[in-house]
């Protein structure tokens, strides 16, 4: 079973697009949340030390600031 993946994004974020494309290439489903429209989500990212996007949350436990493929793969158990 796939671990849950949430990506916090903004419309003009190039790295957010790269992260989404990575998940698509891996055949992984994800939920995308636009922090410019969801202030609660933006504050949640800040609480976890992430000051920019993308922020990737895996299984509600692993917060990854930025598109760090190695950290993502470790969190997914790859």
pLDDT tens for residues 17-62? 999 999 999 999 999 999 999 999 999 999 999 999 999 999 999 9
What's phi and psi for 11, nearest 5 deg?
A: -60, -35
Select the CATH number that applies to the domain covering 5-76 from these four: 3.10.129.10, 3.40.30.10, 3.40.50.300, 3.30.420.40.
3.40.30.10
Residue 2's pLDDT band (cuts 50, 70, 90): confident
Tokens for 40, please give them. 């609660």
Q: Contacts by 61-67 with C-beta closer than 8 Å and gap 24+?
A: 66/15, 67/15, 67/16, 67/18, 67/19, 67/22
- Give the residue extent of every domain in the chain: 5-76
Cβ pair 41, 33 in contact under 8 A: yes
């Amino acid at each position: 079973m796939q671990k849950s993946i949430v990506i916090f994004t903004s419309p003009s974020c190039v790295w957010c697009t790269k992260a989404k494309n990575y998940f698509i290439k891996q055949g992984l489903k994800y939920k995308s949340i636009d922090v410019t429209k969801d202030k609660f989500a933006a504050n949640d990212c800040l609480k976890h030390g992430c000051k920019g996007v993308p922020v990737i949350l895996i299984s509600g436990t692993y917060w990854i600031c930025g598109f760090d493929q190695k950290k993502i793969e470790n969190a997914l158990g790859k």
